[in-house]
């Protein structure tokens, strides 16, 4: 049975700590609930309808025209009536020009046959269907094309060798709900004009896709299997809408996954806050507990009541957190503005709320187990102000901790839906907290022995080690949260510095792709002799030492894959930003000076395929096999200014292979548009990438993503702030006592304030220093080993972040302590003697 009056009285008397506890529960849930709801919104509105995203039930994909075998298989199933409808598309980038050749634009062209898309929709400004608007001789363009080229509907455009009329404007495309990865706006061209534009040559970078709508839903997998058998392995991909990957889906999956990691981290820190505030609340209640025990209350009575107390507070916190999460979810479309299609809807459901409440209670149970174990250790003798504490920790304590850890791991894995990363996350977070905890302990041990001369500083140091002070918890949470925030910030700055800001003035800034062999000399003459040209041969890796590269094994959700198509090249020398990691030269010279079938591989791909010198790699170049032995492993220095090729061959073997050229050159920015126009006029099939413009777009995207990540990571700092306030409340009595003693002994208020400022300054400094050290180590490790870019510590930003943290901690600490300064010594002493 519960004594509700006792329970309510306990909550009311400990209301300040109870509020902190509720805030911590709410904080732990808010971002999690918001993200879970938002993920459902994304699924529902953008990535959920896989048919609309891919435009068909079965998707045949290749970088070449469909092979005759696959084409015949498609025709066969069409004749059998098993396919209701089919549509072909050709996607590629090209420069488009205004009729007067004054404006050019790098555009994402999609040539489509009638009927495309078979699922989903392409909405046009006129309200017509795409195939109604896309007549031969016409194009349908994104609004950006009109805006950037100063054109309007009805105007004409040069695309390749043809001149086409703008018939309509695309307002929404379900296969491309957001425009994140294309470096140019969409232009739809009718398949009937494919020949006229004449942009597809041998080796051109074209994505060929045939989408099929099956007649009977149940036959999707069976038909896909039939077509897969007919496809050229490694060259043609046959997928269903269920299995096909989508860059958009992958992007949101990855981003939301990463944000989930951050929100779990916030949950962990807020959990420490829950523990800290509940411990403080129980410490305040120690005397009450002792009296209640001395009057005959059993352990069960106390456990029952305090567990219910924690659950009641937890429920209030869960409700508050879920509500805050739903409000936050409503704000997310604004935060993600530019990454979501305009008019994206957020649907707030009861399920989100219930899920939040359930999660909240689970979290409360986990984080309150340990503080509640204190109940066991309170002895009635405390009434007589004797230190009585059962210092020995029983097996049950460790058992509880172990069970809690298992529970936390399950919770994390369920949230992330990824066992391996879940385990890494739990391990990594615990390691981070452990390291911070050990550092904080070392500092506190030093503080116990440190006797600085200035009196206010000495008293502040003594205050930090006062019994009951949550100094360690504050330092651990604040520094962990700040370290993660700062590391994310530093990584963004490093990426930006490497790829955008510090792009050297003389580095290539204009790249041309798909230059045909017979266009090579003319191209060189057109742009100048200083152009660097790299031959490109498209091929797939079939096997390593006779062991086939397996698609299923390689197709990991996050990361590169050995099964994709690679660009091979040939040359004799290392590029200026390359060096050898293994092997004495790029290629081995034979006995009579001849070079055998050899290949040099880049370290990143060598790592992916566990390749070593002497391994034999088998490639398929458009069906033609090629075997070569690995003779060297290259790595790239961190300048990253040259195009990189995973596989480099000696010229002798690939010179005759079907190839195109990749050209890199540098020109002043203001000369680029005119040059682009000249190139595309002379060679319409050549694709051009203006790096300066692309870098700016990439920079914008990076900044946006970094802002979103920082927004979420900011919540973890709140957890640190809550623990700080909780600690100040928990030690209020000790602080008041000290302030009164100082005053009674002749200290002015300014001196007492100085002690509080020093105390919080030390707290902030310790947190900031630990955070800076950890963030710099993380930044260095990720830049050096993961991104493989030059590491810049960015001390100015680091110093700013550290200073802001220290200032905030001091401000918050002093504000929380300000009331104590007004305490009259006589009142306090009278209260004390009245006890």
Partner 1 sequence: MAEIIVETRDLEKVYTIGERRQQILKDINLQIFAGEFVVVSGSSGSGKTTLLSILSGIDRPTSGSILLSGRDITGMSEDELAPVRNVETGFVFQAFHLVPSLTALENVMFPAELRRDPQARVKAEELLRRVGLWERRSSYPQQLSGGEKQRTAICRALINHPKIVFADEPTGNLDSENSRGIVELLAELHREEKTTLVLATHSPEIAARADRVIVLRDGCIVEKGEGADA
Nearest to 103 by CA among 141, 159, 143, 148: 148
Does 773 contact partner 1 by CB under 8 A? no
Alpha-carbon distance values, 535 to 532, 588, 662 (Å): 10, 21, 6
Report, in Å, the least distance between residue 394 CB and partner 1: 27
**SS3 at position 42:** helix
- One residue of 342, 396, 826, 831 binding partner 1 per CB under 8 A: 826
Which residue stretch of 56-64, 116-124, 626-634, 827-835 sits at the interface with partner 1 (rule: CB under 8 A)?
827-835
Does 391 contact partner 1 by CB under 8 A? no
Phi, psi of 170 (to 5 degrees): -80, 130
Contact between residue 823 and residue 734 where contact means Cβ atoms under 8 Å apart: no
Report, in Å, the least distance between residue 764 CB and partner 1: 20
Phi, psi of 168 (to 5 degrees): -165, 175
Does 750 contact partner 1 by CB under 8 A? yes
Contact between residue 751 and residue 741 where contact means Cβ atoms under 8 Å apart: no
Alpha-carbon distance values, 383 to 285, 377, 528, 835 (Å): 12, 14, 93, 12
Please give the structure tokens belonging to residue 686. Answer: 């050549």
Query: Which residues 696-735 are close enough to bind partner 1 by CB under 8 A?
Result: 734
- One residue of 40, 237, 283, 743 binding partner 1 per CB under 8 A: 743
Rounded to a whole number of angstroms, the distance between the first and last alpha carbons of the chain is: 32
**SS3 at position 166:** strand
Neighbours of 588 (CB within 10 A): 15
Report, in Å, the least distance between residue 741 CB and partner 1: 5
CA distance 231 to 233: 6
Neighbours of 426 (CB within 10 A): 21
- One residue of 30, 151, 439, 459 binding partner 1 per CB under 8 A: 459
Does 669 contact partner 1 by CB under 8 A? no
Which residue stretch of 24-32, 85-93, 528-536, 739-747 sits at the interface with partner 1 (rule: CB under 8 A)?
739-747
Report, in Å, the least distance between residue 827 CB and partner 1: 8
DSSP letter (8 states) at residue 180: S
CA distance 627 to 219: 39
- One residue of 150, 417, 748, 784 binding partner 1 per CB under 8 A: 748
Does 825 contact partner 1 by CB under 8 A? yes
Nearer to partner 1, 592 or 750 (CB): 750
Report, in Å, the least distance between residue 826 CB and partner 1: 3
637-676 in b/e form (b: 16+ CB < 10 A) is: eeebebbbbbbbbbeebbeebebbbbbbbbbeeeebeebb
Strands 532-544 and 616-621: antiparallel
- One residue of 738, 766, 806, 817 binding partner 1 per CB under 8 A: 738
Does 747 contact partner 1 by CB under 8 A? yes
Report, in Å, the least distance between residue 749 CB and partner 1: 6
- One residue of 745, 785, 786, 796 binding partner 1 per CB under 8 A: 745
Does 450 contact partner 1 by CB under 8 A? no
Nearer to partner 1, 465 or 695 (CB): 465
Report, in Å, the least distance between residue 386 CB and partner 1: 11
Contact between residue 215 and residue 178 where contact means Cβ atoms under 8 Å apart: no
Nearer to partner 1, 202 or 448 (CB): 448
- One residue of 455, 695, 765, 790 binding partner 1 per CB under 8 A: 455
Binding mask 460-499 for partner 1 (x = CB under 8 A): --xx-xx---------------------------------
How many residues bind partner 1 (CB under 8 A)? The answer is 28
Does 392 contact partner 1 by CB under 8 A? no
Binding site for partner 1 (CB under 8 A): 455, 458-459, 462-463, 465-466, 734, 737-738, 741-751, 824-826, 829-830, 832-833
């Amino acid at each position: 049975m519960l004594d509700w009056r006792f329970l309510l009285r306990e909550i009311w008397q400990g209301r300040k700590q109870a509020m902190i506890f509720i805030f911590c529960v709410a904080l732990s849930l808010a971002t999690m609930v918001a993200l879970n709801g938002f993920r459902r919104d994304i699924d529902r509105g953008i990535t959920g309808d896989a048919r609309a995203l891919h435009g068909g039930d079965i998707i045949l994909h290749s970088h070449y025209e469909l092979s005759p075998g696959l084409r015949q298989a498609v025709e066969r199933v069409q004749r059998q009536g098993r396919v209701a409808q089919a549509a072909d598309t050709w996607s590629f980038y090209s420069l488009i020009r205004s009729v007067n050749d004054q404006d050019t634009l790098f555009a994402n062209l999609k040539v489509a046959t009638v009927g495309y898309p078979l699922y989903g929709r392409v909405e046009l400004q006129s309200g017509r269907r795409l195939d109604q608007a896309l007549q031969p001789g016409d194009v349908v363009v994104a609004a950006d094309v009109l805006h950037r080229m100063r054109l309007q509907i009805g105007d004409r455009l040069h695309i390749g060798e043809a001149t086409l009329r703008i018939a309509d404007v695309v307002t929404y495309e379900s296969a491309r709900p957001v425009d994140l990865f294309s470096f140019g706006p969409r232009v739809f061209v009718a398949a009937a004009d494919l020949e006229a534009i004449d942009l597809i040559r041998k080796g051109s970078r074209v994505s060929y896709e045939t989408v099929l709508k099956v007649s009977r839903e149940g036959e999707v997998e069976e038909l896909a299997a039939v077509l897969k058998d007919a496809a050229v392995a490694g060259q043609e991909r046959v997928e269903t809408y269920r299995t096909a990957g989508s860059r958009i889906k992958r992007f949101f999956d990855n981003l939301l996954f990463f944000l989930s990691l951050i929100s779990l981290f916030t949950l962990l820190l807020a959990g420490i806050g829950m523990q800290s505030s509940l411990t403080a609340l129980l410490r305040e209640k120690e005397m009450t507990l002792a009296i209640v025990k001395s009057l005959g209350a059993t352990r069960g009575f106390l456990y029952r009541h305090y567990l219910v107390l924690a659950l009641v507070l937890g429920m209030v916190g869960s409700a508050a957190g879920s509500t805050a999460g739903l409000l936050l979810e409503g704000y997310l479309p604004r935060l993600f503005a530019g990454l979501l299609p305009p008019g994206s809807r957020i649907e707030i459901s009861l399920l989100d709320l219930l899920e939040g409440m359930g999660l909240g209670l689970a979290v409360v149970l986990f984080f309150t187990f340990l503080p509640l174990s204190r109940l066991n250790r309170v002895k009635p003798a405390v009434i007589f102000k004797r230190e009585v504490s059962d210092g020995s920790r029983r097996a049950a304590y460790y058992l509880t901790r172990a069970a809690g850890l298992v529970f936390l791991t399950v919770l994390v894995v369920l949230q992330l839906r990824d066992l391996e990363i879940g385990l890494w996350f739990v391990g990594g977070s615990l390691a981070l907290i452990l390291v911070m905890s050990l550092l904080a302990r070392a500092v506190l041990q030093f503080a116990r022995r440190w006797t600085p001369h200035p009196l206010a500083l000495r008293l502040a140091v003594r205050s930090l080690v006062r019994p009951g002070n949550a100094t360690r918890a504050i330092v651990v949470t604040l520094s962990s949260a700040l370290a993660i925030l700062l590391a994310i910030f530093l990584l963004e700055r490093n990426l930006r510095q490497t790829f955008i800001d510090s792009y050297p003035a003389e580095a290539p800034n204009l790249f041309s792709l798909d230059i045909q062999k017979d266009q090579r000399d003319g191209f060189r003459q057109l742009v100048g002799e200083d152009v660097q040209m790299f031959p490109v041969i498209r091929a797939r890796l079939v096997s390593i030492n006779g062991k086939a590269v397996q698609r299923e094994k390689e197709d990991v959700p996050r990361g590169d894959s050995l099964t994709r198509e690679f660009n091979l090249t040939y040359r004799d020398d290392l590029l200026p930003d390359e060096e050898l990691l293994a092997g004495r030269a790029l290629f081995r010279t034979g006995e009579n000076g001849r070079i055998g079938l050899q290949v040099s591989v880049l370290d990143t791909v060598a790592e992916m395929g566990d390749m070593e010198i002497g391994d034999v790699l088998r490639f398929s170049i458009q069906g033609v096999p090629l075997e070569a032995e690995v003779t060297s492993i290259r790595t790239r220095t961190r300048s990253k200014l040259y195009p990189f090729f995973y596989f480099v061959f000696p010229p002798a073997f690939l010179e005759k292979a079907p190839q195109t050229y990749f050209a890199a050159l540098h020109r002043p920015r203001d000369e680029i548009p005119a040059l682009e126009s000249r190139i595309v006029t002379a060679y319409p099939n050549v694709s051009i990438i203006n790096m300066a413009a692309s870098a700016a777009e990439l920079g914008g995207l990076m900044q946006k993503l970094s802002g979103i990540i920082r927004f979420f990571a900011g919540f973890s700092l709140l957890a640190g702030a809550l623990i700080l306030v909780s600690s100040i409340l928990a030690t209020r009595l000790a602080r008041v006592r000290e302030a009164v003693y100082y005053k009674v002994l002749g200290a002015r208020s300014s001196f007492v304030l100085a002690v509080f400022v020093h105390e919080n300054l030390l707290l902030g400094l310790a947190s900031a220093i630990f955070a800076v050290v950890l963030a710099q180590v993380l930044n260095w490790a990720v830049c050096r080993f993961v991104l493989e870019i030059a590491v810049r510590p960015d001390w100015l930003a680091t110093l700013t972040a550290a200073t802001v943290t220290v200032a905030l901690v001091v401000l918050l600490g002093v504000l929380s302590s300000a009331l104590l300064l007004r305490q009259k010594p006589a009142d306090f002493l009278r209260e004390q003697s009245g006890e």
